[in-house]
Structure 1
Amino acid sequence: MTIANHCLIVACLMPLLCAWIAKSKGIGKRRRDGGFDNHDPRTWLARQTGWQARANAAQANSFEALPLFIAGVLAAQQMQLAQARIDQLAMGFIAARVVYIALYLADQPTLRSLAWGVGLALSVALFFA
């Protein structure tokens, strides 16, 4: 399995990590005390504020970023482009997404948007690797 294929797995797990971060403050508390409500998790998450709300938004954006990245990696490999270049672009995408999530949690919107743009550019670059 290539490095790019490993990056696909990591990218697919990133939204789950964001969801865990969003829910982490409420886990262990009783529902009536504001703890995580597994009976209605989406409504509970919608009521969150601050870093928890931002983590939930990062989760949604991580899902949104997946299709283009997956398509880029698979298209580049299907076209038999240079695997080393595909791997580099895929690792760059993962790095950009990690930075993006960290900046989202830290409430740094301008830098976050820059990291998002880098990730998008890397996904598109995969089609031309």
Structure 2
Amino acid sequence: MKLAGLTIAYWCVLVMALVPMGCAWLAKAGQLGKPRRQGGFDNHNPRAWLARQTDWRARANAAQDNTFEALPFFIGAVVIAHQLGAVQMRVDVLAFLFVVLRLLYVMMYVADLATARSAVWALALLVNIAILFV
């Protein structure tokens, strides 16, 4: 199926490319308008500010990093599946499932549900491998 000339799987690639930005926004939430001297977000030195964060803000930033790390394999798997002429419906369903699992992963990371998060991470990896070999 195509929307605006792109398959669902390609739309999923776009969504996944935006998820790290959502994680970054979450890590900074409530701190963007606060003055730096009061601990608010420091846009002059954002990485150092993020490195000083704790609890859910630090986990949201870590989820951002991990999402960036997962992107190349996902993009590659989707592109390779398309190039090899895989059944589009299967690629679309698996790509959508990958996005859902990765969004659950981010939520579990921020909520500090470590064991469940790791299980979802593993499932998403298996789905990504399935995309590659579909």
The verdict on a shared fold, with TM-score over 0.5 as the criterion, is yes
Instruction: Tell me, in whole angstroms, the C-alpha distance in 2 between the residues paired with 1:125 and 1:68.
Output: 12
Moved over 3 A (4+): none
2:121 alignment partner in structure 1? 116
2:89 alignment partner in structure 1? 84
1:59 alignment partner in structure 2? 64
**Post-superposition offset of 1:25:** 2.8
Equivalent position to 2:28, from 23, 26, 42: 23
Equivalent position to 2:103, from 71, 78, 98: 98
Secondary structure of the residue aligned to 2:105 is helix
**Post-superposition offset of 1:26:** 1.3
Instruction: Tell me, in whole angstroms, the C-alpha distance in 2 between the residues paired with 1:81 and 1:88.
Output: 12
Instruction: Tell me, in whole angstroms, the C-alpha distance in 2 between the residues paired with 1:106 and 1:119.
Output: 18
RMSD of the TM alignment (CA)? 0.5
Q: Deviations over 1:55-79 (max 9, x none)?
A: 0000000000001100000000000
Instruction: Tell me, in whole angstroms, the C-alpha distance in 2 between the residues paired with 1:62 and 1:127.
Output: 18
Equivalent position to 1:127, from 121, 127, 132: 132
What are structure 1's unaligned runs of at least 5 residues? none
Equivalent position to 1:41, from 34, 46, 52: 46
Equivalent position to 2:13, from 5, 8, 15: 8
**TM-score, with normalisation over the residues of structure 1?**
0.99
Identical-pair percentage: 52
**TM-score, with normalisation over the residues of structure 2?**
0.95
The number of residues matched between the two structures is 129
